[in-house]
Amino acid sequence: MQQAIFDAIQAALQELGIPEVDFVVERPSDLANGDYATNAALVASKKLGKSPKEFAQEIIEKLSPSTSLGIIEAIKIAGPGFINFYLSKEVITKEVAEAATKADWANNNLYTGKKVMVEFTDPNPFKEFHIGHLMSNAIGEAISRTLEAAGANVIRVNYQGDVGLHVAKAIWGYQQMGTEENPILEGKWGMAYVLGAEKYETDESAKAEIQERNKKIYERSDDEINKLYKEGREVSLQRFENIYRILGTQFTHFFFESQSWPVGVKLVHAHIKDGVFEMSDGAVVFKGEKVGLHTRVFLNSQGLPTYEAKDLGLLELKEEKENDLDLSITITANEQTEYFKVMLAAAKELPEVQDIANKTQHISHGMMRFADGKMSSRKGNFITGVSLLADMQRGAHQKMQGRELKDANKTAEQVAVGAIKFTVLKQGSGKDIVFDPEKSLSLEGDSGPYLQYALTRARSLLRKAEAEGLRVSAEAAELLAKGEAWPSGLERPESAALPLERSSLERTLIHFPEVVARAARELEPHYVTTFLTELASLFNSWYAAERVIGSADETYGLLLTKAFEQTMLKGLALLGIPAPEEM
C-alpha cells in the first residue's frame, strides 16, 4: 500500500511537470493524521514557487481514490501542506485477513536472489562467553532473520579465536592451578585465563613463560601443551554449543584462528615487496596514513600474526567457502571500528581478497554496562553470558511463582532469553546499554516478557474460542468487508458484522511489512522491537476494552486477534525471541 501511494504521487507529479522530487510516504505518528502521509507538496512547491497547500490540492486532484489508487477512503491536506491518506475499511480488513492467514505476510523481496554471509558471536575458546558475545549473537541473529524475510540466502558464520596470547595465558594459568583429580572442571579454563592475564601484566617472569608457550602453541612443538590445548578447546567449544542452543542460533560454518593465521601470514609476506606492507622495528606493518587511517602491526617482531593478519586469512577462507557472496557482514563491539577500517583498507590492496573486502560491511554494537561500569574479562570482575542467563532465568521463575505451567523451566528459559535479547535490540546499533535485570523482566511494557505475555493472552483467547467451537474465517470476513455475498456452504453466524470504526490496533498492525522491510534495508532490528512494543500496548488496550467472544462482531474480533497473534509471533521470530505458549 505504501508503494502504491508513492507510485501514484510520483505519477501525479510527473503529470504536473515535476518528474524528480525527493519525497517520502510514511506512517504518521498520530492516527488522526491518516494511515499514510507525504511531504511531496512541501518539497515540490519549493521548485515552483507555489504555496504548498495550493500545490497539495493540485496533487490531490490528480489522485482519484476510485481509479488511481482504489485503496483510499479519504485524502486531506494538513498543516503547512502535508497530504494525509486514510485507507478504506475494505483494504484494512483485507490486510488483517492476510496477516491472520498468510505465512509469507510481511515478507519482502529486497534481497531476493542475494547471498549474504553474516559473521557474529565470535567467542574465544579458553575464555568465558561474555556479555559482548551475547550482544553480538542477538544482533547477528536478528539481522540474519530480517534478511531472510527479505528473501536473502543467509550464511551464518562464527569465527573463534583458538590461538593467540589469550590461549597461552589460559594454559599457563591452568598449569599453575594444578590438575587435581579432575583436570577439566566446569569453568576452570575461564579462571585460568584470568590468572594468566593478571600475571602477564604484573610478573615479568610469568610474562616470559607465557610468551614462550604462545610460540609453542603456534609451532605445536610441546606434547604437554598440545594435550592441554586440545582438552581446553574441546571443553570450551562444547560449552559454546550449549549456549547457541539456548539462544536459538545454528551456524552454517565455523572458522578458527588456527585455520586463518597461516593464510594471513602468507598474504602479508606476499605483499611486502610490492609495498602494501612494510618492515618496522622487526615487525611488519600497514601504513594506514596513506588512506587517512593509522598504522597497525600485522606480524609482530617474533614473526607471529596479530589479529589483523588472521582477519586477512579469514577473508580468504570465507571466499573459498562461499565464493559467490553479494554481501559479507561482520558484527563486533564498536571498540573494533577503527581496527576494521585499517584491516579492510589493507585487504582492498590485496588481489587475493580485495573482492570480498569490498563486499564486507562492519556493524558495531555498544557495550553493556551495569552499576559497576563496563565488565572486564581481563580483570575478572565480570558477569559472564552464562551467569547472566542463569540469573535471568531464576528471576523469571520468581516472577512466575504461583502459576501452574506445564513446563516452568522451559518457560523461564524462554523469558530470560527474551528479556536479554529485547534489551540488546531495542535501540540502534552502536549505542551502549545499561542493563537493569528487574526492568528487563517487567510485564508492564518496554521489555521482552511484555511482548511475550501479550502473545500468550492472544493465544489464550483463541484457545477459548476454539474450545467453544468458534473458527477464525478470514474468507468470510474479507467477503463481508467487500459487501459480497456470503460464500455458499458456509453458515453465516450472527456475529459476522464488522465494526463501524477501525481500531488503532488494526490500523497499526497493517504497517508491519513496512517495518520489516526497513529493518532489513537499514540492518537495524530495533525498528521491529519498537513496533512490536507499540502493537502489544494497543492489543492490551483493545483486549481490555472489547468483548470478543459473544459480541456482535465476534467473527472479525477473532480474526483480528489471530492477525495480532501471527504478527507478534513473526516479529518475535525475527528478533530471535522465543514465543512461550503460556506465562
- Residues 75 and 203 grouped into a single domain: no
Q: Closest Cα to residue 116, out of 144, 138, 93, 139?
A: 144
- Residues 69 and 131 grouped into a single domain: no
Within-domain flag for 99: no
Q: What is the pLDDT along the chain (583 residues), one digit of tens a residue?
A: 899 899 999 999 999 988 788 999 999 999 999 999 999 999 999 888 889 999 999 999 998 654 456 789 899 999 999 999 999 888 898 899 899 989 999 999 999 999 999 999 999 999 989 899 999 999 999 999 999 999 999 999 999 999 999 999 999 999 998 655 444 444 688 889 989 999 999 999 999 999 999 999 999 999 999 999 999 999 999 999 999 999 999 999 999 999 999 999 999 999 999 999 999 999 999 999 999 999 999 999 999 999 999 999 999 999 999 999 999 999 999 999 999 999 999 999 999 999 999 999 999 999 888 755 544 444 444 678 988 999 999 999 998 888 888 899 999 999 999 999 999 999 888 889 889 999 999 998 899 999 999 999 999 999 999 888 887 766 666 665 565 544 444 454 554 555 556 799 999 999 999 999 999 999 999 999 999 999 999 999 999 988 888 877 788 888 999 999 999 999 999 999 999 998 8
54: domain CATH number? 3.30.1360.70
**What total of structural domains would you count in the chain?**
3
Whole-number pLDDT of residue 22: 93
- Residues 477 and 356 grouped into a single domain: no
Whole-number pLDDT of residue 88: 87
- Read off the C-alpha cell for 362: 562492519
Which ranges in 441-511 belong to alpha helices (H)? 448-467, 474-482, 504-509
Within-domain flag for 292: no
- Residues 332 and 206 grouped into a single domain: yes
Within-domain flag for 387: no
Whole-number pLDDT of residue 185: 47
Query: What pairing do the DSSP bridges indicate for beta strands 253-256 and 115-119?
Result: unpaired
- Residues 483 and 550 grouped into a single domain: yes
- Residues 349 and 211 grouped into a single domain: yes
Contact between 194 and 173 (Cβ < 8 Å)? yes
- Residues 230 and 347 grouped into a single domain: yes
495: domain CATH number? 1.10.730.10
Rounded-to-integer distance, Cα 449 and Cα 445, Å: 8
Whole-number pLDDT of residue 553: 77
> 385-399 and 131-149 helices cross at what angle (nearest 10)?
80
DSSP-derived 3-state class of residue 123: coil
DSSP-derived 3-state class of residue 134: helix
Contact between 120 and 161 (Cβ < 8 Å)? no
For residue 57, the enclosing domain spans 2-87
DSSP state of 75: E
Within-domain flag for 216: yes
- Residues 524 and 483 grouped into a single domain: yes
- Residues 128 and 83 grouped into a single domain: no
Rounded-to-integer distance, Cα 337 and Cα 333, Å: 8
Query: What pairing do the DSSP bridges indicate for beta strands 433-434 and 283-286?
Result: unpaired
Whole-number pLDDT of residue 379: 45
- Residues 521 and 464 grouped into a single domain: yes
> 307-321 and 337-347 helices cross at what angle (nearest 10)?
60
